[in-house]
Amino acid sequence: MSNVIQLLPLRQTKSQGITALSHMFAHQRRAQGDVFWLKENAEWLGILRGLKGEVPVAAVEPYCEFYESLPAQIAFFPQYYRFFLSLCLDLEDLGIEGGHGEAISQWVASRGLAQAELSDLQRAEAERLLSRRNAAHWDISLDTRLRHFINRSETFALPNKKAAYELAHIVFYLADYGRVDPDLGPETITSLEYAGLLAFLDQNADLLAEICAALRFAGARPNLIWESFVQGAHRDCRLGQAAQQVSVDGYHTYLVTGWLAQMSGRPVFQEDVPTGQVVLYGPQEGEGALRDLSQGLFDMGAFRSADWSRMRQVLLPALGPEGRCVLEAAEGSTDKFEAFFEGFARASVG
């Protein structure tokens, strides 16, 4: 019974808006400096840095003490250098004064921490951060490998959440979160559309929000069906009180769906923030079509076809009412559905 969340009555709320949310993420969720605290707050501050309009000084004040501790923290916990560097640079860009960012960036570069990364994705994140204080230059060979990965559209016609998130994040880094033109070709747009189709079929608002954001940074306009679904998911998120810290909740879905809704001009992050320990509830998961669609294809064995017009007649009636609605909406959300299905069907296997 240790994982049962005891909800408390909402007796008092703080003021609305991003200042209250900054205080919540900094002080009402996790112990400051915990790796999950670092992750949540790095994501929150990254979103604040990209918000349209001015961010009030009060929204960064909850981090002043943490900011002053950064040189000592990163020296003792260099394994978390990307979190510390991200937090430091975003706080400075949001108005905190101190100049730690340049010194920390030079410290990270001098120790070659980015070169110690095994993952190209993590190395790309590190190099993007260091370049913000002129402590690194973008690696051309790394750029080539990243673009080769995101241009291989067939990778993203198959369910693989890890690959889809990596696709979105690579576009974020290449575009510096919308600040530069990433110079992406049509192959990458196709990759994003395939990944978006799978996320929509799965009704995964978290992943679809990141894919839609990446499409915007790539210079493409996400389909209204996808963005409306993401915006609805954000409206369904809510903040509540809990008697104890919750290990996993819907904070990431709340952040990324709100981020995308803000990109499309909708007011977000205006909720009342409860006092005490705060838990973030994500949207209630709906019934998607992806699992039943995949199972139906697998069960066909050698009789499955890559021709969607043929397979539609068999697969659509076999879905439940909600699954059929999701699949029909997915069809209408892109002109690439038939091409996507050719890879998704795996008709030449078995």
DSSP state string for 174-206: HHTTTTS-----HHHHHHHHHHHHHHHHTT-HH
Residue 347 has pLDDT above 60, yes or no: yes
Please check whether residue 70 lies inside any domain of the structure. yes
Cβ partners under 8 Å of residue 298, min gap 6: none
The percentage of residues in the chain with a pLDDT greater than 70, rounded to a whole number, is: 95
Report, as an integer, the average pLDDT of 148-161. Answer: 98
**Do residue 49 and residue 131 come from a single domain?**
yes
* Residues 205 and 253 sit within 8 Å (Cβ to Cβ): yes
Mean pLDDT of 8-21: 66
Same domain, 294 and 239: no
- Does any domain span residue 6? no
For residue 8, what pLDDT is reported? 43
What is d(CA 46, CA 173) in angstroms, rounded to the nearest whole number? 12
Give Cβ neighbours of residue 140 (< 8 Å, ≥ 6 apart).
none
Confidence of residue 15 (pLDDT cuts 50, 70, 90): low
Residue 215 sits in the same domain as residue 132: no
Digit-coded pLDDT (tens) for 199-241: 999 999 999 999 999 999 999 999 999 999 999 999 999 999 8
User: Taking 90 as the threshold, does the pLDDT of residue 258 lie above it?
Assistant: yes
Higher pLDDT, 76 or 1: 76
Query: Is 304 found in the same domain as 201?
Result: no
- Would you say residue 42 lies in a domain? yes
Based on the domain organization, do 277 and 294 belong to the same domain?
no
Residues 304 and 183 in one domain: no
In a domain, 74, yes or no: yes
**Cα(286)–Cα(255) distance, rounded to whole angstroms?**
19
| Residues 19 and 140 grouped into a single domain | yes
The CA angle 52-188-229, to the nearest 5 degrees, is: 55
Same domain, 261 and 201: yes
Q: Are residues 19 and 136 in the same domain?
A: yes
In a domain, 1, yes or no: no
Over range 98-117, report the average pLDDT: 95
- Count how many residues are written for the chain: 350
pLDDT, one tens digit per residue, over 25-41 is 999 999 998 999 999 99
Average per-residue pLDDT for the chain:
92
pLDDT, tens only, 119-149: 999 999 999 999 999 998 889 999 999 999 9
Mean pLDDT of 344-349: 84
Q: Is residue 7 part of a domain?
A: no
- List pLDDT tens digits, range 46-90: 999 988 777 899 999 999 999 999 999 999 999 999 999 999 999
The whole domain housing 188 covers 159-283
User: Of 146, 177, 203, at which residue does a domain stop?
Assistant: 146
Whether 80 is in a domain gets the answer yes
User: Could you give the number of structural domains in the chain?
Assistant: 3
Position 349 confidence tier, pLDDT thresholds 50, 70, 90: low
Same domain, 180 and 81: no
Which of 283, 307, 323 represents a domain boundary (last residue)? 283
Q: Which of 283, 298, 327 is the last residue of a domain?
A: 283
The CA distance from 8 to 240, in Å, is 8
pLDDT of residue 7: 43
Of 215, 216, 261, nearest to 51 by C-alpha is: 261
Cα 167 → chain centroid: 11
Domain co-membership, 274 together with 251: yes
Q: Is residue 3 part of a domain?
A: no
Same-domain pairing of 200 and 258: yes
